[in-house]
Structure 1
Amino acid sequence: MLLRRILTLVLILPVSIGLVMLAVANRHPVTLVLDPFAGALSAELPLFVVVLASLIIGVALGGITVWLRQGRYRKAARSAGREARRANAQVESLRAAMSDSRPRVPLAPGGGLGPIGPAALPDRRDAA
């Protein structure tokens, strides 16, 4: 936890100081024209606002682009997760069936599986 705080300070503090220096050094107003033909859509803003807004918009557009391009991988991961859950459920049901089932083959006198058929059954005439 302490290492995380130190890393945050080491990374965030210089970036914050740099942004404040950028804002102080670039306070003079610039005209931002959004309509190049008529010039009707324009705004006069400090330069640092234009620069920071451009950075924020660029990061947002980049994140959206990456998110859209990785959609097929997220879909494949969801599909694999569903398939894994289905397989685990099937394994559990088979384990439950195996533990509940009783052997259907008669056991030989030594405890192993004997031959299957009428010859494997004890003769009732000998028991009497």
Structure 2
Amino acid sequence: MMKKLLNIVVLVPVAIVLIVLSVANRQTVTLALNPFNPTDSVLSASAPFFVFLFLAVIFGMIVGSFATWFSQGKYRKRARNEAHEAIKWHAEAEKHRTRAETIASQTLVPVSSK
């Protein structure tokens, strides 16, 4: 519930800002990728300005996601290693528990009733 509320509180204002920018920036602009000849039609694209804004936001989100993913890699590796170690120690404890129960059941002498 908290995550849903947080998404609404964050995403609704972002959506409103993007819609306002889209409506305000509908004019066509040309993005030229050739710094020596900006009029070159092969390395340029014409589109409404808000398209370039959306592409920049999407590109930033993807780059940020990858940066976060790679920077947290050492923590994920540590968590995997500790999970494997925990499984190993649980198996070891279970082995000793069953061995102790076996020894305890063998050493108990049943009391016979007279």
TM-score (norm 1): 0.70
Q: Distance in 1 between matches of 2:55 and 2:66?
A: 16
CA-atom RMSD in angstroms: 1.9
- Tell me: CA distance 1:5–1:79, structure 2 relative to 1, closer, same or farther (3 Å): closer
* Superposed CA offset, 1:13-39 (max 9, x none): 322222111001001111111232343
| 1:12 matches 2:11 | yes
After superposition, give the CA deviation of every residue in 1:54-78 in whole Å (9 maximum; x if it has no partner): 1110111011011012111111110
Change (3 A) 1:71 1:5: closer
Q: 1:56 to 1:68 in 2, by over 3 A?
A: same
Unaligned runs of 5+ in 1: 104-128
**Aligned positions, number:** 102
The residue type paired with residue 84 of structure 1 is A
1:36-61 CA-partner distances (Å, limit 9, x unpaired):
23433100111111111111101110
Counterpart position of 2:83: 81
> Larger helix proportion, structure 1 or 2?
2
TM-score relative to the length of structure 2? 0.78
> Which residue of structure 1 aligns with residue 56 of structure 2?
54
Greater RCO, 1 or 2 (C-alpha within 8 Å, sep 6+): 2
- Secondary structure of 1:36 counterpart: coil
| Counterpart amino acid of residue 31 in structure 1 | T
Q: What 5-or-longer segments of structure 2 have no aligned partner? A: 108-114
Greater Rg by CA: 1
What pairs up with 1:1-128 in 2 under 5 angstroms? 1=1, 6-38=5-37, 39=40, 40-101=42-103, 102-103=106-107
| Cα distance in 1 for residues equivalent to 2:12 and 2:88 | 48
In the superposition, relative to structure 1, how do residues 19 and 42 fare at CA in structure 2: closer, same or farther (>3 Å)?
same
